[in-house]
Amino acid sequence: MATSGTDLSFFDASTLPSGANMRVGIAVAEWNSQITDNLYRGAVDTLIELGVPTDCMVTYRVPGAFELPHACKKLIDRHDLSAVIAIGSVIQGETKHFDFICQSTAQGIMDLNTQQDVPVIFCVLTDNNLQQAIDRSGGQHGNKGVEAAVAAIKMAAL
Ligand code: DLZ
């Protein structure tokens, strides 16, 4: 994998747009919550660092990654948002469930991106095992929640 041995979560806030006038929605899956809670914390802390006021963030929690596209659509329909971040963690099991959830979640989020104006950021880890997920949610490969927040600010400013 291209990120092997690399922490991509460092960013220079001075090179990014200010989030001061932005409103950001966050949909978080509860499945593998030890991972998604860390991704969520990384995203929220980074949005705050980039200037998004805490009262301009709206969070919806859903059972699993499969429900993220629906939650993102509801966030967009109900709130006047600059961007949405979809947070989940899918870990490979012994059945094909993993493939169906990953494929449908990614496609659902892509459909939202092409069918309406609010950018939806894909912060769904799709890992072979728990350790890989830990490494990418505040471990040795950084925190993908941080990267998702940076992407949200960039896309909102397009
Ligand atoms: C059922 C299921 C399985 C097996 N694995 C995961 C997972 O690793 N990560 C995740 O976010 N959700 C998982 N789910 C739950 C589905 O996303 C969904 O919530 C249920 O199928 C109900 O629609």
- For ligand 1, atom 8, the nearest C-alpha belongs to 90
Q: Are 120 and 71 in contact (CB under 8 A)?
A: no
pLDDT of 92: 94
Give the distance (Å) from ligand 1 centre to CA of residue 91. 9
Helix, strand, coil fractions of the chain, as percent rounded to 5: 45, 20, 30
Span 70-100, pLDDT tens digits: 999 999 999 999 999 999 999 998 778 899 9
Class of domain 27-156: alpha beta
